[in-house]
Amino acid sequence: MPTPERTSLDQIVAAAREILESEGLARLTMQAVADRVGVRAPSLYKRVRSRDDLIGLVTEATILDLGARLQALDGNADARADLASLARAFRAFAHERPAGYRLIFGWGPDAGQPRQDAFASAVAPLLRIAEKLAGPEHALSAARTITAWANGFVSMELAGAFKLGGSVDDAFEYGIAHLAAAFNRSELV
């Protein structure tokens, strides 16, 4: 088995993310990660203090992954187009990494929370788009509204809660268009 020095923290976190997605949070154990990276479980404690800390690192890596994807979409002159791209990328990410997505939005343990600057980095593109749509004085409120709508929609979708028929994709696009239209800076209170 490799020595801990040959097993980086990045490899440990990547293995933990894979386990989370394939086997679920309950099976994300130090032993499972050790088996995946090819070391003995006690060796992991040289890199990660506890399972809670490991979950925090996984959550942070997932947030940074999502943030990098969103960062790449920001920059069009049309804020509504940026919002649509961002919302679609957010949804695609949630479908690609549903267990990680749930950790980001607090479906995991409270212990081992990621650093605040990871959150700030990830939401920066949304805040810029929200500012373009709603103005600087309403950017944070607009970003929270967008996040609440997108998280609610995607969470319901992942839970299989849309049972009335019709196209969920069309409903998502409808929501994006109407949400973007709602942020008309000249009409905000």
> Mapped to the 3 state alphabet, what secondary structure does the chain carry?
CCCHHHCCHHHHHHHHHHHHHHHCHHHCCHHHHHHHHCCCHHHHCCCCCCHHHHHHHHHHHHHHHHHHHHHCCCCCCCHHHHHHHHHHHHHHHHHHCHHHHHHHCCCCCCCCCCCHHHHHHHHHHHHHHHHHHHCHHHHHHHHHHHHHHHHHHHHHHHCCCCCCCCCHHHHHHHHHHHHHHHCCHHHCC
**Apex 75 CA angle, 73 and 77, nearest 5:** 125
* pLDDT value, residue 119: 81
- Domain residue limits at 6: 1-48
Query: Are both 159 and 70 inside the same structural domain?
Result: yes
CATH code of the domain in which 7 resides = 1.10.10
Query: Are both 41 and 64 inside the same structural domain?
Result: no
- Cβ proximity of 91 and 99 under 8 Å: no
Query: Are both 110 and 153 inside the same structural domain?
Result: yes
Of 108, 150, 107, nearest to 126 (Cα)?
Answer: 150
Query: Are both 57 and 131 inside the same structural domain?
Result: yes
Query: Are both 78 and 166 inside the same structural domain?
Result: yes
For residue range 3-47, what is the model confidence (pLDDT) as tens digits?
A: 556 789 999 999 999 999 999 999 999 999 999 999 998 888 889
Give the residue-averaged pLDDT of 162-181.
93
Query: Are both 39 and 58 inside the same structural domain?
Result: no
* pLDDT value, residue 112: 56
Query: Are both 59 and 131 inside the same structural domain?
Result: yes
- Cβ proximity of 87 and 31 under 8 Å: no
Give the residue-averaged pLDDT of 137-142.
92
pTM for this one? Answer: 0.86
Query: Are both 16 and 105 inside the same structural domain?
Result: no
Query: Are both 29 and 116 inside the same structural domain?
Result: no
For residue range 47-104, what is the model confidence (pLDDT) as tens digits?
A: 999 998 999 999 999 999 999 988 877 566 788 899 999 999 999 999 999 999 998 8
Please count the structural domains in the chain.
2
Give the residue-averaged pLDDT of 171-177.
95
* pLDDT value, residue 66: 93
Of 9, 23, 126, 93, nearest to 56 (Cα)?
Answer: 9
* pLDDT value, residue 78: 86
CA distance linking residue 151 with residue 26, whole number of Å: 23
* pLDDT value, residue 107: 60
Query: Are both 136 and 69 inside the same structural domain?
Result: yes
* pLDDT value, residue 27: 95
CATH code of the domain in which 104 resides = 1.10.357.10
Residue 109 in this model has a pLDDT that exceeds 90: no
Query: Are both 83 and 26 inside the same structural domain?
Result: no
Query: Are both 1 and 44 inside the same structural domain?
Result: yes
* pLDDT value, residue 184: 67
